[in-house]
Chain A
Amino acid sequence: MKIERQYRVAVEHHNPMEPFATTVVREDDGSLTIYDKTQGSQSNQAYVCSIFGLNKDKVRIVNAFMGGGFGSGLRPAYQLYLAVLASQTLERSVRVALTRDQMFTFSYRPETIQTVSLGAEPTGKLTAIKHHAVAGTSHFEDHQEVVVNWSGLLYDCKNAKLTYELAKIDTYTPADMRAPGAVLGVFAVESAMDELAYETGVDPVDLRLLNYAETDENDGKEFTSKALKACFEEGAERFGWSKRSPEPRSMREGRELVGWGMATGVWEAQVMDTQARATIHADGTLEVASATSDIGTGTYTVMGMMGADMFGLPIEKVRVKLGDSSLPTAPVEGGSWAAASTCSAIKLACQALKKDLLKQAARWRTSR
């Protein structure tokens, strides 16, 4: 038994509420303080320094608040380049803000055409997974995402062939957008699994359980943890899945036809090298700081919570600093790694600070 289906996903723009804008404040000595809409103050600092040949100590990027990113601010947007160029040329402060219309001309999830081919025994046990994707990119850059790998990760199948290619079109380069690649690829393979469930007559949840992957067969590695089976079972139980009728047009609520479906989502749990600073002040307040960003995801809050938790302080006694290239080194906020990475760094910084405090307190006691 086999199915082969094509899935097309159109271009999708991030278009966060706050359009891109850059304000370059130029001091008399030529140093720049740049207020920029970005998910990475330090990566944009490196970008400006490298393109304009400036020293790091002359360029500070501030992004203390950001009106949404969704990945559009992972790379510097072009108004940063234009604003710094104008500021350097005119030797004055400059602001460049983009209009809503302009927000539709760059940084978008790429259009993608995918073919998923699934071979299965009549029981629904997968015998072959083939997943081929062609994604659009610009003529001047090869934008790449992880689109097809998820199909080899999600299901136990000894035959898998996953291929990913690009094709050039006359548009701007696509950009990472909200679980880049995974949204495209997992949508396709999960749609195909639904088609297979229909073809084989196997319940969609049972089909997933039958082909459940106990190891990462792409990399031949154990999962550090995986509770997806429990999620399926709990979800089915809470949803009343057993009451579902699989026949199309067979379920009604009053005069409305109702369909129930399910799908799996996958994303990585990543942790990146991140530095943080913890400072305790004489008035008993704690400050935690890192050059990460808060793109509306609550980084300020989780950093404050971590600091408060480490010192047993009420959260009002914790100040959080982020969104400034002069703070301890952190990567762009993206990939869902910021909370795990930044809070781990804060935990270590607080542990070191506590140890130091206790050592100083002990010394103070014996010296009296």
Chain B
Amino acid sequence: MAVPALSTSDARASGPHGVAELQLQGHDRASGQAVPPALRRQILYSGQPIALVVAETFEAARAGAALVTATYKSEEHITDLEAVKGQSYVPPKRRSGIAPPPSPRGKADVAFEPRR
């Protein structure tokens, strides 16, 4: 099938124009300075875009996207919070504009469970 005016961004490159490999950490509410994990080799979540097909029409783009093939090497992954709740942590870097919990007041542990 002929697919007119097709261009692809290829995930096998180290990152298109090196942009996708920019910093992934950080979350600035004001400017949202985070590059999404897209068009890169490592898959971090289900639904992560692996390629973008651009064409003159929607139908051509969809036909082009159908020609994209991908092979994956499966790694261990966990999407169940219950399974990892024991590995919880206090976020080391506070998100801007989000108040952390206040310091404890009084003695809640003792008041809840008085020593006999």
List A residues at the B interface (Cβ < 8 Å).
2, 43-44, 46-47, 50-52, 74-76, 78, 81-82, 85-86, 88-90, 94, 96, 102, 104-106, 111-113, 117-119, 127-130, 134, 136, 138-146, 148-149, 152, 157-173, 181, 217-219, 331-332
B14 at the interface (CB under 8 A from A): no
B64 to chain A, nearest CB (A): 13
Q: CB-defined interface of B105-116 with A at 8 Å, one 1/0 digit per residue?
A: 111111111000
Q: Which 8 residue pairs of A and B lie closest in terms of their CB atoms, listed nearest first?
A: A105-B47, A159-B106, A161-B108, A128-B111, A165-B88, A78-B36, A128-B112, A144-B95
Residues from chain A with Cβ under 8 Å of B78 in the complex: 169-170
Q: Given A140-B24, A164-B101, 5 other A-B contacts at CB below 8 A?
A: A52-B19, A78-B38, A144-B95, A162-B102, A163-B90
Q: Majority SS of interface residues in chain A? A: mixed
**Once the chains are docked, how many angstroms separate the CA of A47 from the CA of B27?**
11
The answer to whether A105 touches B45 (Cβ under 8 A) is: yes
Residues from chain A with Cβ under 8 Å of B112 in the complex: 2, 117-119, 127-128, 130, 159
Residues in B60-116 with C-beta less than 8 Å from chain A:
77-82, 84-85, 87-95, 98-102, 104-113
**Once the chains are docked, how many angstroms separate the CA of A50 from the CA of B49?**
21
Residues from chain B with Cβ under 8 Å of A149 in the complex: 99, 101-102
Given contacts A74-B29, A89-B9, A144-B91, whether A102 and B47 have CB atoms under 8 Å apart is yes
The answer to whether B105 touches A140 (Cβ under 8 A) is: no
**Once the chains are docked, how many angstroms separate the CA of A263 from the CA of B8?**
53
Given contacts A140-B37, A170-B77, whether A158 and B52 have CB atoms under 8 Å apart is no
